[in-house]
Amino acid sequence: MAAETRPAAPPPKLPPLREVIAAHGLQASKALGQNFLLDEQLLDRIAAIPGPLKEQPAFEVGPGPGGLTRAILRAGAKLVAVERDHRCLPALAELDQAFPGQLRVISGDAMEVDARAEAGESAHIIANLPYNVGTALLIGWLSAEWSPLPWWSSLTLMFQMEVAERIVAQPGGDHYGRLAVLSQWRSDARIAMKVHRSAFTPPPKVMSAVVHITPKPAPEGVQLKHLERLTAAAFGQRRKMLRQSLKGLPGALDALGAVGIDPQRRAETVSVEEFVEVARVLGGL
């Protein structure tokens, strides 16, 4: 006789986020780069971007009053959230009680927390990032050790639209630069969702977008340090020809020649794959 399968317990009924914010006297802090999202359907859509999260490790930065947090928990993840705003901790403690065993809140600065040690291997990082530290956190995660993949499974991150466009940019446009190369040389990056400024409280001055990044094995024979030096020099003087912008980087012009790239081109025309090829040669010189 087949074992009886019990239906999954329904998610706990939670008060509207506006009530939580009012009850705890919370206001978004400009100094902390906070903008709260209150639309629960939108938050559930963001939490669905990484794919099924049931029993999966997840990591969130800057949960604030817990809007995205509750969406991630509803999806069934085992979540570690880092919050530096002490005012928000009581609201997050209520979520800990509503989802027993699923949430652990760290009171601290995400720039100083070892996300890998706290969240564990293969964690999905999902966050409405504070605008003032978002890019720095992203670069830290993209610069992680790859062997053959990084410790995280995916990045699902809210950015200002301009930053999102820089992450996914293709050669030939003004948005294309170092951040695009760093995001794409061993990862796939896409804009998964655009979010209107009116969805936030208070509304920011600019539009936002959710970027989804999934890692892939790094190209063989290429070290991040060589790619970083190469793109720093190339895009540091992006309007100049490569023969000018790269002349101060030892071996760079020889590497260009070895790959067959015309030194009269500008950095913004060089594809991610071409930068990878030049960095591979540069590392072998």
Q: Which CATH number fits the domain that encloses residue 173? A: 3.40.50.150
Do 207 and 251 lie in a common domain? Answer: no
**Which one of 172, 197, 215 terminates a domain?**
215
With the C-alpha atoms ordered 242, 244, 248, 251, is the resulting torsion angle positive or negative?
Answer: positive
Residue 112 in domain: yes
Reported as type and span, the H/E element at residue 140 is: helix 134-142
Q: What CATH number should be reported for the domain holding residue 253?
A: 1.10.8.100
Q: In sequence order, what are the residues at sequence separation of 6 or more whose Cβ sits closer than 8 angstroms to the Cβ of residue 103?
A: 69, 73, 79, 80, 81, 92, 95, 96
Q: How many domains in the chain?
A: 2
Based on the fold, state whether residues 268 and 137 are members of the same structural domain: no
User: Same domain for 178 and 265?
Assistant: no
Indicate if 88 and 151 belong to the same structural domain.
Answer: yes
Residue 2 within a domain = no
17 in a labelled binding site: no
Q: Which of 142-146, 184-188, 201-205, 225-229 has the lowest mean pLDDT?
A: 201-205
Q: Are residues 196 and 151 in the same domain?
A: yes
Is residue 131's pLDDT more than 90? no
Residue 5 resides in a domain = no
| 260: containing domain | 224-284
Paired tokens of 67: 């809007």
Closest among 43, 48, 45, 35 to 14, alpha carbons compared:
43
The answer to whether residues 172 and 265 belong to one domain is: no
Reply yes or no on whether the pLDDT at 27 is more than 90: no
Q: Specify whether 138 is located in the same domain as 170.
A: yes
For residues 146 and 280, what is the distance between their CA atoms, to the nearest angstrom? 16
177, pLDDT greater than 60: yes
Residue 131 lies in a domain: yes
Residues 197 and 67 in one domain: yes
- 10 within some domain: no
**Last residue of a domain, which of 215, 239, 254?**
215
Three-state DSSP state, 233: helix
Looking at per-residue confidence, does 74 or 206 come out higher?
74
pLDDT tens digits, one per residue of 248-271: 999 999 999 999 999 999 999 999
Which of 172, 175, 139 shows the shortest CA–CA distance to 157? Answer: 139
Residue 279 falls inside a structural domain: yes
Say if residue 35 carries a ligand binding annotation. Answer: yes
**Does 230 lie in the same domain as 181?**
no
- What pLDDT is stored for residue 5 in this prediction? 54
From first CA to last CA, the distance across the chain in angstroms is 69
Query: Can you tell me whether residue 19 is helix, strand or coil?
Result: helix
Do both 151 and 279 map to the same domain?
A: no
- Section 13-38 average pLDDT: 81
pLDDT at 59: 98
Model confidence at 105, pLDDT cuts 50, 70, 90, reads very high
- What pLDDT does 220 receive? 95
Helix (H, G, I), strand (E, B) or coil at 76: coil
Looking at 183, 215, 247, which one is the last position of a domain?
215
Q: Known binder of ligand: residue 162? A: no
Residues 230, 168: one domain? no
Strands 57-61 and 36-37: unpaired
Residue 247 belongs to a domain: yes
3 state DSSP class of 225: helix
3-state SS class at 247 = coil
Beta-bridge partner residues of 212: 156, 190
The answer as to whether 12 is a domain residue is no
Say yes or no: 143 and 89 in one domain: yes
| DSSP state letter for 205 | S
182 marked among binding-site residues: no
